[in-house]
Structure 1
């Protein structure tokens, strides 16, 4: 039997990831087989979860994933002793539409019967924290708030005032964490600095485990976790783009969902990684090439100088499909302008030119209707996913678009992406078939 719970908050920036990582590491110290999942579209947090638990990270997304897929992935994760699901943004933040498919963490909590521990950033308030907790308790009868964790406390008196205000609610306070800059993980424009970029990650995780052991009531938290309801059923996945897939993997290209890789491997595909930053090209034995998203804008000079990578990629693309998502799409284009305004020549397999100097955030769920066959599927396929980038398109060239995109509510955004010969790309990140 797997016991499970969700760590959520009223808003982003409340400390969910810090609390989640501390809890995961402290439970693992106890010898508990613990696994984590992230609600919503996120590449970065699951990598930290994996480092903390020693098990692959996972995403559970109620909007982008059909219910059968979400259930199957949850059932897979529920093979551990304890499952901890980290919410995204605020617990009830999602998109209007079909009930249970808003993308909010609350959808996942309700579907999987997850008790929720609410992380409250109480800096700048005291008794008002109880009013917030009361509102969350009453907001949705399908979502059970099982306890609260007070984060960023200023003093013992601060904690006492909040605990006294919480007492009439009958809601246990299962953690009280003092304000500390030492617990903050560094960030950049797309979220936390990636897990594998921290040379001191084991020490950081150990410090978070120490924090959890000092300031969380681990025994009560374990007692509050309940048996999850995750019925497993046959699930639809995006098919692998090839039998042997050349996969760009390094600090510039790391954003690929774990459930996709697992599904491709289960379907019999083999991943053959290569590093563009090390001037490596796709292996000639492969029959498809995939360039994930990531941070090419931080490594544009190195990519521009990677002559062997670009030559071998161009040769590969003459006969076999090459697809780029977001950062991979930018790298397939003609040029990338970095934050300093310097233009760097990219692979030149698509006509797109992008700029990180002219930054504009694009964020949201997307449904793509493919206009032509590509590694995401045949023409006419509908795929759900999301966009999240700051780069802007300064020129598109004369390539045909890859897909028509709609937002989460079905409003048509327009034609997007590029295709030329065997090469395709888009800022859209694919998650699952619609």
Structure 2
């Protein structure tokens, strides 16, 4: 079947593909269409923009996490509406370690047979831009690049460059975006700031939408998307069938907000009821739960609030001490420690279910894809990106960096508990999820009382 789809990729990070992708999605909505979106790679922030601000379905797809057939199956399963817009990551060909194709935007486009529109930063460039585009085209072995967007160029110069590009390279220039500081988005140590932290974000995105509508040919974008080859799933997505009803308490608030749509969907399809709670605002855990999931996020920005909510900390510690299964990733893991120190080294008391503390290191501690094993047996794949580190990261599992092959001992794991810094991608290992659900089932329905 034909699923209209297009990838918005770029020559490198900081080129403007996120802003342009959001603008295209908003403009398509304004045109009366119903787009959905996907993000290439292990990025939580961009899909949050798409979901929370634009109100769109948004997922994460990654060819390191899943094999081609599973990646395709996930895409088709989540596809909704009239057209899918897939946002690339880094430079088009930048995959594992920045040197491999695996895990790159291009590799995902290859798997999904998705035509690519390449965003080029034309600021400070003239005819040299042809050489840059020609290099990217020559490296496109599957002939997927179907168009170019010129970013940060004036209307007049964009017309001149477009004529040169189309005449000499035979590639369509689908539009341009002028340099506009009014729509710039601040940076933070973990990518873009979250949508609810940006003043007047809706106004900014309205400006982006209007700029895109003025400079980019949306009909051409749609024509390219509709020209995609037919695609079908080579296999059924590896869903887990579990007839027994179970309830999982999922932390979700300002501090804990990093969740892959694919992870939550996989749990729900296994018959798990997800009940959300807030470690900041709630005093008790949800009733009759079989397990707890603490995702990543920004607990370091809410240390006062988390430290002062003693009731929920006590409830979580009591549940874990009783043997309740728990998954905790990065920020969620930090929260389970005894203390988190802020940048001024002031200590804030956390749950204390795991001994130790976490503190800011002033630099990126670990970054990149990892494969996680127990006694040489594959468990699951994940990704790390954090500036905080703990004095007790655990030593129960082998965590191997995909780009270098280097392995360290890390994470706390005992069959019912798996916590540590890596963010996990559940579709990479249905068996891992099955084992956690078995632990939840064995625990039985647990009524927590304080």
TM-score scaled to structure 1, two decimals? 0.90
C-alpha deviations, 1:220-276, integer Å up to 9, x for none?
111122235442222236899992110100111001100111111111111111111
RMSD of the alignment, in Å? 2.6
For 2:268, the equivalent position in structure 1 comes to: 265
CA pair 113-271 structure 1, distance change in 2 beyond 3 A: same
Deviation at residue 10 of structure 1 after TM alignment = 0.8
**Aligned-partner Cα distance in 2 for 1:353–1:286:** 27
For 2:321, the equivalent position in structure 1 comes to: 318
Deviation at residue 123 of structure 1 after TM alignment = 1.4
Q: Conserved in 2, the CA contact under 8 Å of 1:8 and 1:88?
A: yes
Moved more, 80-89 or 121-130: 121-130
Deviation at residue 28 of structure 1 after TM alignment = 0.8
Does the residue aligned with 1:69 lie in a helix, a strand or coil?
helix
2:342 matched to 1:341? no
For 2:31, the equivalent position in structure 1 comes to: 30
2:334 matched to 1:330? yes
Q: Runs of 4 or more off by more than 6 Å in structure 1?
A: 96-100, 238-242
**Aligned-partner Cα distance in 1 for 2:293–2:384:** 17
Q: Conserved in 2, the CA contact under 8 Å of 1:402 and 1:424?
A: no
Q: Conserved in 1, the CA contact under 8 Å of 2:249 and 2:274?
A: yes
Q: Conserved in 1, the CA contact under 8 Å of 2:240 and 2:270?
A: no
Deviation at residue 203 of structure 1 after TM alignment = 2.5
CA pair 326-8 structure 1, distance change in 2 beyond 3 A: same
CA pair 302-359 structure 1, distance change in 2 beyond 3 A: farther
**Aligned-partner Cα distance in 2 for 1:97–1:345:** 38
For 1:291, the equivalent position in structure 2 comes to: 294
For 1:64, the equivalent position in structure 2 comes to: 65
For 2:111, the equivalent position in structure 1 comes to: 111
For 1:408, the equivalent position in structure 2 comes to: 402
**Aligned-partner Cα distance in 1 for 2:386–2:224:** 38
Moved more, 417-426 or 340-349: 417-426
2:251 matched to 1:251? no
CA pair 228-244 structure 1, distance change in 2 beyond 3 A: farther
Q: What is the count of residue pairs matched by the alignment?
A: 422
Query: Which ranges in structure 2 are unaligned for 5 or more consecutive residues?
Result: 430-450
For 1:359, the equivalent position in structure 2 comes to: 363
For 1:376, the equivalent position in structure 2 comes to: none
**Aligned-partner Cα distance in 1 for 2:77–2:229:** 12
Moved more, 237-246 or 216-225: 237-246
CA pair 131-421 structure 1, distance change in 2 beyond 3 A: closer
For 1:235, the equivalent position in structure 2 comes to: 237
CA pair 26-52 structure 1, distance change in 2 beyond 3 A: farther
2:166 matched to 1:162? no
Does the residue aligned with 2:37 lie in a helix, a strand or coil?
strand
Match of 1:418 among 391, 409, 412: 412
**Aligned-partner Cα distance in 2 for 1:421–1:345:** 27
